Amino acid sequence: MYATQALTQLVPLAADELDKNKVTPGVLGFLVFAALAVGVWFLMKSMNRHMGKVDFEEAPDPAAGPESADTPKRSTASKG
């Protein structure tokens, strides 16, 4: 028997006891949410440190030819 089939059989039993106006996530829901928030905060802090260490300077494209990267390229589009 699948878990979903077992749960669908238990839902009618809980419907009599369940008050839809009083259902809350409770303390466990808050603790899980708080743990996720703290975990995301630590991950963002770590990512910020790692991104600060990155020193990226793009190398010139060797297929571009002898033209240096400092000289501007001429536009081949016609103005009209």
Banded pLDDT at 45 (limits 50, 70, 90): very high
* Amino acid of residue 25: P
Residues in the chain: 80
Q: Does the predicted model carry a pTM greater than 0.85? A: no
pLDDT of residue 18: 66
CA-to-CA distance for 49 and 43, rounded, in angstroms?
Answer: 10
CA dist 44 and 42 (Å) reads: 5
3-state DSSP helix/strand/coil percent for the chain, to nearest 5? 55, 0, 45
Name the token pair of 32: 């899980």
